[in-house]
Amino acid sequence: MITPTIQRQLTRSIRHARCFSSTPSASAQQVKRLGVIGAGQMGLGIALVAAKTAGVPVTLVDTNQTAIDKGLKFADKLLAKDVSKERITQDQSDKIRSLLNPSTTMDALVEVDFVIEAVPEIPSLKFDIFSSLAQICPPHAILATNTSSISITRIAASTTKDPTNTSASSRVISTHFMNPVPIQKGVEIITGLQTSQETIDTAIEFCKAMGKIPSQSADSPGFLANRILMPYINEAIICLETGVGGRDDIDAIMKNGTNVPMGPLQLADFIGIDTCLAIMKVLYEETGDSKYRPSVLLRKMVDAGWLGKKSGKGFYDY
Ligand code: NAD
């Protein structure tokens, strides 16, 4: 729990980190090229909104060519829908599409001013990527992560072996977009201990240029959104596995009783069952609090490969 004392300590630490930050980072006006790593459901959405709303060219990196092809096909579908609803013209759609430049290698990020990582929620994978980004990207580039739960301070620390050298770690921040990115306005801005004020300002400005509404939160397990949302989803799964209610009743009561577009089990399918488990594990392990214990059924579903909408089967069939 973040007590006022811890909050004050965090704020002081952030101020302290600002004093150490030596490398000036890009300002939002200087974000002339964005990099996005991971062309999955979040990365593709971020890339498309950045091209469409902020009007910046995007280098979209995914090691899996099939994921890139699938992502760009989805972008084409969303743009065609915008044209058919007369929200944009065909010319505008073509221009937006031409701003998306795919690549299967991170070396393509050599000229970006701002990069947003959206690869799966695996700590070691993210640490490796940020260690590489510190080498590949220009020395002013902001290095942002879309992580749902991994400590930003720890991700920032992976950029260097020398903790006194904050030239790269001060440029690490989280821009935690909400799913689906083209629709949800909210974005959580989470700072690590090392994050500089210029980095915070630029990230907020750039998210606003993407048409988003930023909220700031401290680097604490689950941050704000998932600290609140995931125990809710996990509890719904426990209700299902212990027979308190069936799938449709659980979703119906929350949908019709709290005026949300979908119930917690359908939402879990949309987020990804594996992502939900990864976040619950972080909450449980980082706080040591049994109230965050991931449900047994959640673990079993991941073991079965029933990951929700993306795998065709979750609590519902797709
Ligand atoms: P996803 O599985 O849909 O996509 C991840 C993509 O990363 C895949 O296309 C994969 O091929 C690619 N990838 C894997 N290793 C890579 C590497 N080394 N280099 C480049 N690309 C690589 O995942 P997602 O749902 O888009 O989630 C991405 C991140 O966003 C995670 O950290 C997740 O926690 C976070 N997030 C997810 C949601 C959600 O609702 N799904 C919401 C907010 C944040």
Q: What is the pLDDT of residue 10?
A: 47
Express each pLDDT in 78-105 by its tens digit.
999 999 999 999 999 999 999 999 999 9
Confidence of residue 12 (pLDDT cuts 50, 70, 90): very low
The verdict on whether 226 is a catalytic residue reads yes
Q: What is the pLDDT of residue 148?
A: 87
Global pTM reads: 0.86
CATH class of 27-217: alpha beta
Express each pLDDT in 181-197 by its tens digit.
999 999 999 999 999 99
Express each pLDDT in 295-314 by its tens digit.
999 999 999 999 999 999 99
Domain ranges of the chain: 27-217, 226-311
CATH class of 226-311: mainly alpha
Q: Is a pLDDT exceeding 60 seen at residue 15?
A: no
Ligand 1 close to Cβ of residue 145 (< 6 A): no
Side-chain half-sphere exposure of 315, counting CA atoms within 13 A: 29
**Closest ligand 1 atom to the C-alpha of 68?**
9
**Closest ligand 1 atom to the C-alpha of 270?**
40
In angstroms, the Cα distances linking 16 to 170, 273, 286 are 11, 38, 24
